[in-house]
Amino acid sequence: MSSSEPADPARGLPAESEDERWMRTALELAAGGQGRVEPNPMVGCVIVKQGHAIGQGFHQAFGGPHAEIDALRSLESIANAAGATAYVTLEPCCHHGKTPPCSEALIEAGLARVVVAMPDPFPKVDGGGLSRLRQAGIEVQLGVCQHEAEALNAPYLKRLRTGMPWVIAKWAMTADGRIATRDGESQWITGPQSRHHVHRLRGRVDAIIAGMGTVIADDPRLDARLTSAQGDPVSPPRVATRVVICNRRLPPLQSRLMQTAREIPTWLFHSDALQQAPTLGLVELGAKVIHVSGDSLGPMIPEVLRYLGGHEMTNVMIEGGPTLLGSFLDTTTDRFLIDECHVYVGAKLFGGQASPGPIAGRGIGPITSAPQMRLQGVDRFDSDVRLIYRVTE
């Protein structure tokens, strides 16, 4: 979640309003649902009366109470909500889904004012929640910290707008931009803390995408292996579906992916070139085999993303080599099909022209065609650094 600069009257920056202060608290709460609420959006709510927060909550799990309900339940007494202000990061819903409408709950509780960061473009809401509140005589203010709210729920908004999931590319590279030595060695560029953090990232996405080059070279499991501070195994927020894009070959039956396909969902997307290939053994091991048109990775990628989005996947992560990453750069339009990059930089130097970089393929022509990115965060793990970039429109 991006944040604006702090208020500093000496520098001429505007002072943060009371509404902004409470809304940023609600946004911090909302982020607690990351990896647990998708395909729903992350939402937080703070109930304020006479300048004090009397209740707060957030959407904690898909199918569970929404943020407004969670906040109302946190009150010492529901009667305390009468005349209070609710700060909500997303327009309250107005339809019966897995839970009753939050707009009706706020009305029944007697809220006097509802401050909303952004409207919800979901077709069953899309302004209806705001209208219902206003019809009930509640004062409604929209647009407080809207930019921050949109940044927090950018993956949700993208899937609604395009039908495709938010695509996170992850790679580890040396300080001089190499992902392997000239002999092909890549384990390990980064240290244990960085690798642990990658497992946390795996544990909050809907799918992990790899290519056959990675499957053959590394024989990975592509799962999230988390541990507690005491070293005990911990279940991740969600179990990512393992997606393998198979252009010219299929995974070996004895690979770790196939041997664990009954434990962890494994989807194999194959091209026209493999339409006649025998897949029965893969299916018997538990894999789902899906045909997409195209005879190369470039045309296959958008179809795979549309398929994943159609199955309510909100966040997917690429854990592939340079060939697969390069295929997410649409060379016919110079459009980058990646939304966010997590770049782990290890404290090593490999050097040499034969040492590969993270993204292969045709690449960008003029520098003006390069995707523009904004730095979202910097984290340090021992001597390693993680850079998070988001591609701007």
Catalytic residue among 38, 68, 104, 340: 68
pLDDT at 332: 57
| pLDDT tens digits, 312-365 | 999 999 998 899 999 898 655 556 899 999 999 999 999 998 999 999 888 887
321 is in an annotated binding site: yes
Query: Which three-class secondary structure string do you get for 177-206?
Result: CCCCCCCCCCCCCCCHHHHHHHHHHHCCCC
181 is in an annotated binding site: no
Packed helices 102-109 and 128-135: angle between N→C axes, nearest 10 degrees: 20
Q: Collapsing DSSP states into helix, strand and coil, what is residue 67? A: helix
Decide if 139 is catalytic: no
250 is in an annotated binding site: no
- The answer to whether the CB of 264 falls within 8 A of the CB of 288 is no
Pick from 168, 180, 228: which is nearest to 390 by CA?
168
Strands (DSSP E) along the chain, which ranges?
A: 44-49, 52-58, 85-88, 113-116, 139-142, 166-174, 207-211, 226-227, 233-234, 241-246, 266-270, 288-291, 315-318, 329-330, 335-336, 340-346, 373-381, 384-391
How deeply is 365 buried, as exposed, middle or buried, from its count of CB atoms within 10 A (0-12, 13-18, 19+)? exposed
Neighbours of 237 (CB within 10 A): 17
pLDDT at 274: 82
63 is in an annotated binding site: no
Q: How many CA atoms lie within 13 A of 231 on its CB side?
A: 0
322 is in an annotated binding site: yes
Low-confidence ranges of the chain (pLDDT < 50): 1-6, 9
Domain 18-153 has CATH 3.40.140.10: yes
Alpha-carbon gap, residue 219 to 215, rounded angstroms: 5
102 is in an annotated binding site: yes
Q: Cα separations (Å) of 73 from 54, 93, 365?
A: 11, 17, 56
Alpha-carbon gap, residue 44 to 31, rounded angstroms: 8
162 is in an annotated binding site: no
pLDDT at 2: 41
Enter the tokens of residue 197.
């953090």
342 is in an annotated binding site: no
pLDDT at 63: 92
pLDDT at 117: 98
pLDDT at 4: 43
Extents of the domains making up the chain:
18-153, 163-391
At residue 69, what is the residue type? I
Alpha-carbon gap, residue 235 to 227, rounded angstroms: 8
Name beta bridge partners: 87. 46, 115
Q: Which CATH number fits domain 163-391: 3.40.50.300, 3.40.430.10, 3.40.50.720, 1.10.10.10?
A: 3.40.430.10
